[in-house]
Amino acid sequence: MHKRPDRVTLYDVSSSAGMIKDDANPLRHGQRMSRSPAPCVMVIFGGSGDLTRRKLVPALYRLSQRRSLPGGFTILSLSRTDLGEEKYRDGLRRSLVESGTTPEASTWETFSQGIHYLSGDYRVPATYERIKRALSEYDLERGTAGNRIFYLAASPSDYAGIIQNLGAADLGWKRAEAAGWTRIVVEKPFGRDLESARALNKVVEGHFHEDQVYRIDHYLGKETVQNLLVLRFGNGIFEPIWNRQYVDSVQITAAENIGVGTRGTYYEEAGALRDMIQNHILQLLTLVAMEPPADFAPNSVRDEKVKVLRSIPPPPAEAVEQIAVRGQYGSGFIAGKPAVAYRQEKHVSPQSSTETYAAIRLTIDNWRWAGVPFYVRTGKNLAKQATEIAIVFRRAPHQIFRQTAAEEIASNVLALRIQPDEGIALKFVAKQPGQSMNFQPVNMEFQYGSTFGMHLASAYERLLVDCMVGDPTLFNRADSVEAAWALVQPFVDAWSGPGAASIVTYASGSWGPPEADRLLDRERRRWRLL
Amino acid sequence: MDSSETIANLGTPMGVDLDAMMRELNAFHTATPEHAGEIPAIRACSCNLIIIVSDRNEAETLPPVLADVAEWHPCRSLVAFRQPALTTGQTPMQAWIRVQCRPQPGAGPQVCSEVITLAVSPEAAGGLPNTLLSFLMPDLPVFLYWRSAKDTEWELVRDLARAAGMLIVDLQTSLGHVGEVRSMLPLQEHLPQGVALRDLSWQRLTPWRDLIAQFFDSRPARSLLQELDIVEIRASESPGESIPYPALLLAGWLISSLGWSEISAGREGTTWISRRRNASGEVQLRLPVADSGPAGVGVLAVSLTTRSGASFSVVFDPESECMTASAASAEETLIHEVPLPAKGEAEMLIAELSLPGEDTVFRGASSAAAALEKSFH
């Protein structure tokens, strides 16, 4: 007899994806869909890594605290580091505290009982035999019923090898017909250019069906990002004006006020383009620009998103410098504190030409968005931490206030704040009280914090549960990843080739290089000051 | 309730004065911390929740429940009851305010929600609906929770329902007040248009519905729904009812979901039997009169057998709080055990407030249950 689960778990064992898909069962009609996942094992490759300690385990712990994890949920962490199980658990507990969560004794005890650690070399087939044995044991001891999630949180260069070894050990699609389900979560970066992304997709396809693959982009798990879909498609007032007739331009900003910290080695290889634009920012852009899907089924949403990416023409090589700016932070002051230049950071080459800032002007060649520029920018060591999508509307067609002091009336802006201060603001002009016809832009605000009051769950909490219940809506499909790489490839080529122009430097604590301002100046627009 | 919560009782009961009370609330919310280390507070409100209770004692049990609800649905709660004992000289309507603040994780401000309680003398009861309406936070959803569900409050509830989008009741626990199931079941028919009716008893049936549906999720098993021969639903005793309400509601769900039409109804010994017709023949729906076991638990067991000999059952063991689902055919028997911990009132309210709009399946089940109950009498 399996161990007694500690909560109701309702799932359809007849479906390979583990989801209740078939609504032809009349007794399923109108049932409140439970997001209670089935018991499962999460095998984490890169178990001692930063991502596991700082994001995954804290998210899983908080889910456990909220009783959102299935009974019998088990973690099997793998890493090359030789650690004992107890030492590993203690380390995770410390990481939890460092991440700001003080574990409650009883919750931690229950949660940690399900954490196991295996040290081994990912490149050696014998490691996978050990994994198989451990998984069989958990099925019996913890009632995980053959349900597995393989989470690739290791170094991206190990991904292909791990996937091939999983396949060779019959832990991929070949066991999909057996009891339970198998899913694989692949962390970004998914490839480092179009060619490598295609190659990795090929490896994945060889061992897993596409519906088993969850390419994670944690931005999509943020409440505010999901709310973008609700704002657009759950309200009647926005969609009619969400097009070229009413929208002047769109700005997407993902600014950080911190540098690369200890991630110099990774960042030297990635840069802002690969780290932020190819994935997070393009994903935000697709949600802003996509057509309404027929329904909220995973593939309906993902089909529309990929259509957007395919409608953005990649620029010819010679046009890159006109529509894009890259920069690297120099020294400066951020909020009054001195900050070192990128080239002085740990594990960064003193001659590095890696971009820590990128701004690009994109256009979408379709009926809805023809002629509307989408300006995207991201950077490190900027003045503030702020991620925002701003829809800038066209001005009123006829200015009746031309003879007044209020000739320059600001555009209306719908600003969707992703983080911090999650919320939505609509900017419009109002008359200042008094005898004169003076106008002032004012904001109508919605703030998550003061409306709902609750602490927003982390993106990883949401996405981990999505994966456990088999909902891939917020994960990237192979075609979407490749379309995004195809779009940024001209920028990758232009910025990394031997003929690449030298990178401009911006002061830490500023809003990026002046060249980025000029990108908009020449179109009589300005970046929003956040 | 979290021990670190702050509760501020703003004044003692006083005659209802909306402006004065709002001033008092605003003063509380705009006050800056006086001492170093005090955490500032913000007011959060996403809806209004009106709760009709029987008396002061019942009202006094509510704050912990409302504090938990406010964590998920920050709301202005308005608790109202009749108080015959308001003495001469006292104003016929009295009110008092309570502000409940809960710290957020990290260094964020405390999030505060308010509870306004109104006691009204029987003579002034007619003015209560409008008084409550004047206290609502404007332009936010209004939920009405008729906790006491007493016949005498029906007029008040019906009046308030006009302003509310949803009426929540808990017939399983409140039917003892009214004695007869049949007087409550057609509640939906008497509500103003557009008001969704929710019953916490229906939520308690969710795990039962899930497990029963699960038997028929796979395509090969789906056809067995047409072959059902006997369905028996056993429930614990309900005060004052010969047919336990949860059993009736679950039966109503099967009838409405599977489209079983009535052939006959009656009682054989200690079992109510309804003969129904489905696509392939006759189904016997059996509801045994609860005669033993713990009272008020709800559904205890459901069994379904088919003409081809397959049988399915879900059995609840109140002691271990576990449900055991079994599917038996000639070839094999599958057993699946899941826990069914009792849900608290706050947890159930949170779930209801999270799902706006009408639950059409509940409506169908409720109507079918009412018709079934009627057919037995």
Distance (Å) of CA B37 to CA A222, A267, A277, B99 = 31, 40, 41, 20
Establish, for the pair of chains A and B, how many residue pairs have beta carbons separated by less than 8 Å.
Answer: 103
Q: Which residues pair with B326 in a beta bridge?
A: B313, B335
Alpha-carbon distance B105 to nearest alpha carbon in chain A (angstroms): 7
Distance (Å) of CA B340 to CA A4, A9, B169, B325, B354 = 11, 10, 22, 12, 21
A6 band by pLDDT with thresholds 50, 70 and 90: very low
Task: Answer for the pair B285, B273: CB distance below 8 angstroms, yes or no.
Answer: yes
Task: Establish if B258 touches chain A: CB-CB under 8 angstroms.
Answer: yes
B337: nearest CA partner in chain A: A4
Is the domain spanning A220-395+477-521 CATH 3.30.360.10? The answer is yes
Closest Cβ opposite residue B72 in set A10, A14, A454: A454
- CB spacing of A10 vs B211 below 8 angstroms: yes
Catalytic residue among A116, A207, A218, A280: A280
Task: Establish if B214 touches chain A: CB-CB under 8 angstroms.
Answer: yes
Chain A partners of B43 at a C-beta cutoff of 8 Å? 450
Closest Cβ opposite residue A8 in set B104, B225, B340: B340
Distance between CA A413 and CA A390 in Å, rounded? 6
A33: nearest CA partner in chain B: B210
**Residue A88 is which amino acid?**
Y
pLDDT at A18 over 50: no
Alpha-carbon distance A283 to nearest alpha carbon in chain B (angstroms): 28
Segment A189-208 shows an average pLDDT of 95
Over the stretch A388-414, which tens digit does the pLDDT of each residue have?
999 999 988 777 776 555 456 778 999
Over the stretch A94-107, which tens digit does the pLDDT of each residue have?
999 988 888 888 88
- Between vectors from CA A212 to CA A184 and to CA A71, what angle results, nearest 5°? 65
- Count Cβ atoms below 10 Å from residue B42 Cβ, excluding itself: 17
- CB spacing of B108 vs A455 below 8 angstroms: yes
Alpha-carbon distance A420 to nearest alpha carbon in chain B (angstroms): 12
Nearest one of B289, B292, B293, B312 to B302, comparing CA atoms: B312
Report the residue of A8, A13, A36, A448 to disrupt the B interface, i.e. the one with the largest count of B CBs within 10 Å: A8
Nearest one of A416, A283, A262, A417 to A346, comparing CA atoms: A262
Partner A, chain B 305-344, Cβ-Cβ below 8 Å: 322-323, 337-341
Q: Which two tokens stand for residue A12?
A: 């359809």
Task: Establish if A14 touches chain B: CB-CB under 8 angstroms.
Answer: yes
Which run of H or E residues covers position A470? none
DSSP, collapsed to helix, strand or coil, labels residue B330 as: coil
Burial label, B262 (beta-carbon count in 10 A; 0-12, 13-18, 19+): middle
So where are chain A's domains?
26-187, 220-395+477-521
Task: Establish if B351 touches chain A: CB-CB under 8 angstroms.
Answer: yes
Over the stretch B257-309, which tens digit does the pLDDT of each residue have?
999 999 999 998 889 999 999 888 999 999 988 656 666 678 999 999 999 88
pLDDT along chain B (377 residues), means of 10: 47 70 80 67 85 90 91 90 71 86 73 89 84 85 87 80 88 62 65 86 92 83 90 82 85 95 91 91 90 73 93 91 84 75 89 84 91 88
Q: Which residues contact B343 (CB under 8 A, 6 or more apart)?
A: B203, B204
Chain A partners of B67 at a C-beta cutoff of 8 Å? none
Alpha-carbon distance B55 to nearest alpha carbon in chain A (angstroms): 30
- pLDDT value of residue A125: 94
What is the Cα Rg of chain A in Å? 25
Which run of H or E residues covers position B197? strand B196-199
Block residue for tokens 């982390």:
A458
A309 band by pLDDT with thresholds 50, 70 and 90: very high
B250: nearest CA partner in chain A: A27
- CB spacing of B206 vs A32 below 8 angstroms: yes
- pLDDT value of residue B1: 38
Task: Establish if A447 touches chain B: CB-CB under 8 angstroms.
Answer: no
Chain-centroid distance of CA A397 in Å reads: 38
- CB spacing of B209 vs A31 below 8 angstroms: yes
Burial label, A489 (beta-carbon count in 10 A; 0-12, 13-18, 19+): middle
Helix axes A478-496, A194-207, angle to 10 degrees: 150
Nearest one of A85, A105, A276 to A189, comparing CA atoms: A276
- The sign of the dihedral angle between the CA atoms of B208, B212, B215, B218 is negative
Over the stretch A86-95, which tens digit does the pLDDT of each residue have?
999 999 999 9
Task: Establish if A8 touches chain B: CB-CB under 8 angstroms.
Answer: yes
Does the complex come out with an ipTM higher than 0.90?
no
Chain B partners of A29 at a C-beta cutoff of 8 Å? 257, 361
DSSP A156-221: GGGHHHHHHHHHHTT-SGGGTTSSS-EEEEEPSP--SSHHHHHHHHHHHHHHS-GGGEEE--GGGG
Q: Which residues contact B79 (CB under 8 A, 6 or more apart)?
A: B51, B53, B59, B62, B66, B115, B116, B117, B118
Chain-centroid distance of CA B124 in Å reads: 28
pLDDT at A233 over 80: yes
Distance between CA A168 and CA A483 in Å, rounded? 29
Closest Cβ opposite residue B111 in set A15, A28, A453: A453
Query: Could you confirm whether A209 is annotated as catalytic?
Result: no
A23: nearest CA partner in chain B: B217
- Between vectors from CA A450 to CA A95 and to CA B352, what angle results, nearest 5°? 90
Model-level pTM?
Answer: 0.76
Distance between CA A470 and CA A34 in Å, rounded? 12
Alpha-carbon distance A295 to nearest alpha carbon in chain B (angstroms): 19
Burial annotation A149-162 (CB, 10 A radius, 16+ → b, else e): bbbbbbebebbbbb
Q: Which two tokens stand for residue B366?
A: 């409720």
Partner A, chain B 62-81, Cβ-Cβ below 8 Å: 70-72, 74
- pLDDT value of residue B175: 60
- Count Cβ atoms below 10 Å from residue A51 Cβ, excluding itself: 17
- pLDDT value of residue A174: 64
Q: Which two tokens stand for residue A341?
A: 């230049």
Task: Answer for the pair B145, B66: CB distance below 8 angstroms, yes or no.
Answer: no
Alpha-carbon distance A391 to nearest alpha carbon in chain B (angstroms): 26
A11 band by pLDDT with thresholds 50, 70 and 90: very low
- Between vectors from CA B8 to CA B3 and to CA B10, what angle results, nearest 5°? 165
CATH number of A26-187: 3.40.50.720
- pLDDT value of residue B91: 77
Alpha-carbon distance A15 to nearest alpha carbon in chain B (angstroms): 8
Alpha-carbon distance A383 to nearest alpha carbon in chain B (angstroms): 22
Q: Are strands A337-339 and A324-334 parallel, antiparallel or unpaired?
A: antiparallel
B218: nearest CA partner in chain A: A14
Task: Establish if B104 touches chain A: CB-CB under 8 angstroms.
Answer: yes
A314 band by pLDDT with thresholds 50, 70 and 90: very high
- CB spacing of B217 vs A12 below 8 angstroms: yes
Task: Establish if A102 touches chain B: CB-CB under 8 angstroms.
Answer: no
Q: Which two tokens stand for residue B210?
A: 């899930």
Task: Answer for the pair A292, A239: CB distance below 8 angstroms, yes or no.
Answer: yes
Task: Answer for the pair A320, A282: CB distance below 8 angstroms, yes or no.
Answer: no
Over the stretch B75-129, which tens digit does the pLDDT of each residue have?
899 999 988 766 556 678 888 888 888 877 666 678 888 999 999 888 888 888 8
- CB spacing of B44 vs A10 below 8 angstroms: no
- pLDDT value of residue A12: 30
Chain B partners of A450 at a C-beta cutoff of 8 Å? 42-44
Chain A partners of B45 at a C-beta cutoff of 8 Å? 451
- The sign of the dihedral angle between the CA atoms of A41, A46, A49, A54 is negative
- CB spacing of B351 vs A449 below 8 angstroms: no
Partner A, chain B 224-243, Cβ-Cβ below 8 Å: 225
- pLDDT value of residue B243: 82
- CB spacing of A34 vs B351 below 8 angstroms: no
Helix axes A223-234, A282-289, angle to 10 degrees: 20
What is the Cα Rg of chain B in Å? 24
B255: nearest CA partner in chain A: A27
Q: What is the mean pLDDT of chain A?
A: 87
Closest Cβ opposite residue A30 in set B217, B254, B361: B361
- pLDDT value of residue A175: 63
